[in-house]
Amino acid sequence: MGESAVLEGSAHKLGDHVNTDLIIPATHLVSNDPKELGKHLMEGHDPDFTSKIEPGDIIVAAENFGSGSSREHAPLAIKGGGISCVIAKSYARIFYRNAVNIGLPLIESPEAAEAISQGDRVRVDLAAGKIEDLTTKETFTVAPYPAFMQRIMDAGGLIEYVKNKA
C-alpha cells in the first residue's frame, strides 16, 4: 500500500447529521480550490474550527455525515483543510462517492465513532482495517480498504488515478 495507508492525527468529534452546509457554507462555493475551501471548513458548525486543527487530524462523527446537497465542495473543503480522513457511524451516499472521487478516505465504524473522544490521538491503517485510539489504547477493526480503493486514495482521487493509468 502507499503512503496514505497509515494516517494519524487528533480527533475532532462531531455529532449526527453534519450536512454539507455545515461543512462548507454556500457563501464559499465560488471556489473549487481545496485550500481556499479548507480555510472555511466547518464554518457553519464552528467558526473557529480551522484554528483548532493541524494537518493530518481526523474528523470523528456520528450518523449520516455529509448529508444535504450533493456538492463536491464538502469533501474538497475537508481535504483542503488538512484533515486526513473521517471516521463516522454512517455517511450520506453521495458524500461518500464524492469523497472517493477526490481521494478523501472515509471509514465507517459505529464502535470507533462512539468510543473516540475529542482530542484523542488516533491512528488509522487503511490497508489493515485497523483504527487505534492511541490515547485510550482501544483498537477497532474495520473492513480494510481494497487494493484498488487504496490506489485511488494514493493517487489523490479517481481522476488522478485514471490519468496515471492512461
Domains of the chain: 3-165 (3.20.19.10)
How large is the C-alpha radius of gyration of the chain? Answer: 15
- Please check the confidence at residue 5 and state whether its pLDDT lies above 70: yes
- Please check the confidence at residue 1 and state whether its pLDDT lies above 80: no
pLDDT band at 166 (very low <50, low <70, confident <90, very high): low
Note whether 105 and 85 are within 8 A (CB): yes
What angle is formed at CA 45 by the lines to CA 135 and CA 60, rounded to 5 degrees? 30
Whether the full predicted model's pTM is greater than 0.85, yes or no, is yes
Lookup result for grid cell 475537508? 78
Q: What is the pLDDT of residues 108-154, one digit of tens each?
A: 999 999 999 999 999 999 989 999 999 999 999 999 888 888 889 88
What angle is formed at CA 55 by the lines to CA 128 and CA 94, rounded to 5 degrees? 65
